[in-house]
Amino acid sequence: MPHRVCPVWVGYLLASPIRKLIQNPQRIIGPYVKPGMKVMDIGSAMGFFSLPMAQLVGANGRVVCVDLQAKMLGRLTRRAQRAGLTDRIETRICTAESLGVEDLIGQIDFALAFAIVHEVPDADHFLKEITSILKDGGQLLIAEPKGHVSQAKFRETITMAENVGLRNTDSPRIQRTHAVLMEKLAGGLGPRKSIDE
């Protein structure tokens, strides 16, 4: 879905253990991801968040990892194999126009969009797609890099999310990012409503 594509070599930097010193994935997603959940990592790259998610959901949970680049997902799969987590992870290639997740409408407990919303060509459509796959009460954590996204632009993203059936429930503190936790309102955009509406 992104209109700017992160080079594969940058994926290695994003998955680096050194990054955990600044943005520890367990601390960032730990409060929201629980055993048995079905969760989604959007723009997963090589799995910096995906693998910790797979540990948190446990043997009965599922992590759907969506990325535009097959090479990124290939590296993620190899990392998951080394960690013994492949039975909990499903990888999907998206397109510039769609996440390709129509079969998951109303099924996701938690979704993560970390440093991705500013890269998509149609943020409104992107947020509608995510809202459609969330269960009522499901959560979406959006984090955008302060170096690329202004506070005003981030507020626009929050407003777009609210307009498609999400409500702002928290502003988690994540270093070097603007972050918001959104929750799908009961009866919001879902199986009976088209994501194109």
In a domain, 5, yes or no: no
Residue 11 resides in a domain? no
- What is the DSSP code (8-state) at residue 185? P
Residue 16 in any domain: the answer is no
pLDDT at 195: 41
Enclosing domain of residue 174:
32-184
Q: What is the mean pLDDT of the chain?
A: 88
> In Å, what is the CA distance from 108 to each residue of 90, 130, 190?
13, 9, 11
Strand partners, 134: 108
User: Does 22 map to a domain?
Assistant: no
Checking if the pLDDT of 7 tops 90, the result is no
> What number is the average pLDDT over the span 25-31?
95
Q: Tell me, what's the pLDDT at 9?
A: 39
Distance CA 118, CA 70 (A): 21
pLDDT the model gives residue 4: 54
Q: What is the model's pTM?
A: 0.87
Is there a domain that residue 1 lies in?
A: no
Domain tally, the chain: 1
CATH code for the domain of 115: 3.40.50.150
pLDDT score, position 97: 86
Q: What is the pLDDT of residue 11?
A: 46
pLDDT grade for 186, boundaries at 50, 70 and 90:
confident
Q: Is the pLDDT of residue 149 over 90?
A: yes
Does a structural domain hold residue 121? yes
Evaluate whether residue 160 is within a structural domain: yes
Whether the pLDDT of residue 12 is over 50: the answer is no
Tokens in use for 106?
């109303």
Look-up: residue for tokens 């949970």?
Answer: 61
- Return phi, psi of residue 147, to 5°: -70, -20
Q: Is residue 90 part of a domain?
A: yes
